[in-house]
């Protein structure tokens, strides 16, 4: 299947490792130009390996979105935006600190809103696509509870996806989200080994996703091959949840 992503400028947040780094590799392999964003300077190595560029900064800083948009404009304008950066601060609700709640909402939801807003004009001018990285926790709670900030932030990104898709349909921007189940990255090390095995037992396919499998779906959603898909939050989770 031809994806026609050659030369398309793709902005990917949270690309120093994990799913974001897999996006960088996959889009570069399709000939896309990549502009990677992360607070971890290792993002420079990921960009270098794929012949792309990187910006190091903290997405919870409201001013950062403007700097990213400026650089994208200098490169000719963004065609694709992948809001992928995310954090998790698990805690039972009564023990969730204000600061943790705010940090999770800032990175997972507010930064995606700000960057989408900052790049909207560029994306509109270029029939662009936005892909938000949600989670199965965008549609239900986590498997064991104890992570209200993450669940709320992922529900927010699902809402942002639908609202932006509605407006984007008129503006020429297509917006969708990916809802992974459990992916083999550093993030799942928040769970100890026995808990990880227990989670696996709930998954009909009895395995976690490889980051490259999430990237395959992102390539499809970024390409014109998915041109009639608009405002969806698409599960990719080995059957963990089905809707």
Ligand X SMILES: NC(=O)c1ccc[n+]([C@@H]2O[C@H](COP(=O)([O-])OP(=O)(O)OC[C@H]3O[C@@H](n4cnc5c(N)ncnc54)[C@H](O)[C@@H]3O)[C@@H](O)[C@H]2O)c1
Q: Which residues have a catalytic role annotated?
A: 150
CA angle 6, 7, 10 (to 5 degrees): 100
Site membership for ligand X, residue 87 (CB under 6 A) = yes
Q: Is the alpha carbon torsion for 20, 21, 23, 27 positive or negative?
A: positive
Scanning residues 147 to 206, which ones bind ligand X (CB under 6 A)?
Answer: 180, 182-183, 185-188
| Cβ pair 33, 8 in contact under 8 A | yes
Binding residue for ligand X (CB under 6 A) from 28, 47, 53, 86?
A: 86
Q: Smallest distance, Å, CB 54 to ligand X? A: 11
Q: 64 or 120, CB closer to ligand X? A: 64
Q: Which of 74, 72, 169 is nearest to 124 (CA)?
A: 169
Closest approach of ligand X to the CB of residue 143, in Å: 11
**117/124 Cα distance (integer angstroms):** 11
**84 scored as a contact of ligand X (CB under 6 A):** yes
Q: How far apart are the first and last CA of the chain?
A: 27
Element (H, E) at 68: helix 64-74
52 binds ligand X (CB under 6 A): no
User: What does the per-residue mask of binding to ligand X show for 104-143, with x meaning CB under 6 A?
Assistant: ---x-------------------------x-x--------
- Residue 146 CA to residue 123 CA, distance in Å, equals 37
Among the listed residues 20, 52, 90, 128, the single contact to ligand X using CB under 6 A: 20
Taking CB under 6 A as the criterion, the residue among 60, 147, 161, 176 binding ligand X is 60
In a 3-state reduction of DSSP, which class is residue 186?
helix
Helix, strand, coil abundance in the chain, percent, nearest 5: 50, 15, 35
As measured in angstroms, the least distance from the Cβ of 125 to ligand X is: 26
- The answer to whether the CB of 205 falls within 8 A of the CB of 112 is no
Binding test (CB under 6 A) with ligand X, winner from 3, 25, 30, 39: 39
By the rule CB under 6 A, 40 interacts with ligand X: yes
Could you list the residues that contact ligand X (CB under 6 A)? 14, 16-20, 38-40, 58-60, 84-87, 107, 133, 135, 180, 182-183, 185-188
């Amino acid at each position: 299947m031809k994806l026609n992503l050659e030369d398309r400028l793709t902005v990917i947040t949270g690309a120093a490792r994990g799913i974001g780094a897999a996006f960088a590799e996959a889009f570069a392999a399709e000939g896309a130009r990549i502009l990677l964003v992360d607070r971890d300077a290792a993002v420079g190595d990921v960009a270098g390996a794929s012949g792309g560029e990187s910006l190091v900064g903290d997405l919870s800083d409201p001013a950062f979105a403007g700097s990213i948009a400026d650089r994208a404009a200098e490169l000719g304008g963004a065609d694709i935006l992948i809001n992928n950066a995310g954090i998790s601060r698990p805690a039972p609700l009564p023990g969730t600190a204000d600061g943790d709640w705010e940090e999770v909402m800032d990175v997972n939801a507010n930064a995606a809103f700000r960057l989408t807003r900052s790049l909207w004009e560029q994306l509109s001018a270029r029939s662009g696509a936005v892909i938000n990285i949600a989670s199965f926790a965008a549609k239900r709670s986590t498997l064991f509870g104890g992570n209200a900030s993450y669940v709320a932030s992922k529900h927010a990104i699902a809402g942002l996806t639908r609202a932006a898709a509605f407006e984007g349909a008129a503006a020429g921007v297509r917006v969708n989200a990916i809802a992974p189940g459990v992916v083999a990255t550093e993030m799942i090390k928040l769970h100890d080994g026995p808990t990880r095995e227990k989670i696996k037992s709930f998954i009909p396919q009895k395995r976690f996703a490889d980051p490259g499998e999430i990237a395959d779906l992102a390539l499809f959603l970024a390409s014109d091959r998915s041109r009639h898909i608009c405002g969806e939050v698409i599960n990719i989770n080995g059957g963990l949840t089905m809707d």
